[in-house]
Amino acid sequence: MAGRLIGVGVGPGAPDLLTLRALHHLQRADVIFAPSMASDVQSRAESVVVRADPNLRVRRLVFAIIRDDAARQAAHRAAAIEVGEALSAGLSAAFVTLGDPNVYSTFHHLLREVRRIDPAVAVETVPGIMAFQALAAEASLVVTDEVESLHIVTAVDGPVGIESALEDTASTVVIYKGGRHLGAIVDLLRAHDRLEGALLGELMGLEGSKVELLTSVDQRSASYLSTVIVPPRRSTS
Ligand SMILES: C[S@@+](CC[C@H](N)C(=O)[O-])C[C@H]1O[C@@H](n2cnc3c(N)ncnc32)[C@H](O)[C@@H]1O
């Protein structure tokens, strides 16, 4: 393959949080691919691209969110074949992803399959602003200060895996992919005395966006595009 594959982070959803570097790469790419649930469904990442520059054209790659590993891999392989055809034709191909392409991103699933076709494919990534950064900015929350640490954890399979991060009370905990388990996350934060000040950001920068303190949230589940920030226990003096 003579082409080049570029993983472009488009930020969490607001088109003005797409960086100048990302826009530069998108405007110069021969083809822009976006992951999508179905060929007739515009993905969130695609919507950011076309709102940032309505002249850009996007090709959808169907990446259904399925838990079955074999079916998921087959979808990634089919997408890689399509991308591989563009690369073999010598084209530069951008693949857009919400947030950053190196953090919990489908880009690397795609890349793994593209590399099976051509291990020497030329690749680069363009960083993107992440949802938790947009959420912190919107709520004027200092994410970390002085010697505080930051954990980024996933609650895709429920909140069990986040307990050890919560036990580190001097750290901030960012919880990704926990929307389905919001009620259980709230219960766990309460049990660890970490609920106070915790924030929920749903669909940041997208239609239906909202930011709330978790203490005032009464729903037990939220959108897949939900991020929780649990601040450290800070002394008020
Ligand atoms: C597959 S991960 C993608 C992460 C992305 N690569 C990043 O750097 O932010 C999906 C998770 O990212 C978070 N997320 C991404 N975009 C979001 C948004 N607009 N609003 C809230 N959370 C978002 C949610 O926790 C969601 O479950």
* All domains in the chain, ordered by first residue: 4-126 (3.40.1010.10), 131-230 (3.30.950.10)
pTM value > 0.85: yes
Which residue minimizes the CA distance to atom 27 of ligand 1?
A: 177
CA of 217 to the centre of ligand 1 (A): 19
Q: Could you report the per-residue pLDDT of 137-168, keeping only the tens digit for each?
A: 999 999 999 999 999 999 999 998 899 999 99
| Cβ < 6 A, ligand 1 pocket | 12-13, 97-100, 103-105, 130-131, 176-177, 201, 203-206, 224-227
Under 8 Å between Cβ of 57 and 30: no
Cβ–Cβ < 8 Å for 205, 99: no
Amino acid (one-letter) located at 113 = E
Q: Rounded CA gap, 174 and 186, in Å?
A: 13
150 alpha carbon – ligand 1 mean position (Å):
17
**Residue located nearest, by CA, to atom 25 of ligand 1:** 176
pLDDT at 237 over 70: no
The pLDDT, as a whole number, for residue 173 is 98
User: Which of the four pLDDT bands, split at 50, 70 and 90, describes residue 65?
Assistant: low
Centroid of ligand 1 to alpha carbon of 79 (angstroms): 21
Query: Which two tokens mark 167?
Result: 């036990």
Q: Mean pLDDT across the stretch 32-56?
A: 96
Locus of tokens 């488009």: 10
Average pLDDT, the chain: 95
Phi and psi of 217, rounded to 5°? -90, 125
- 97 CA to centre of ligand 1 in angstroms: 10
Ligand 1 atom at minimal distance to the Cα of residue 128: 8
Q: Which residue has the CA at smallest separation from atom 5 of ligand 1? A: 99
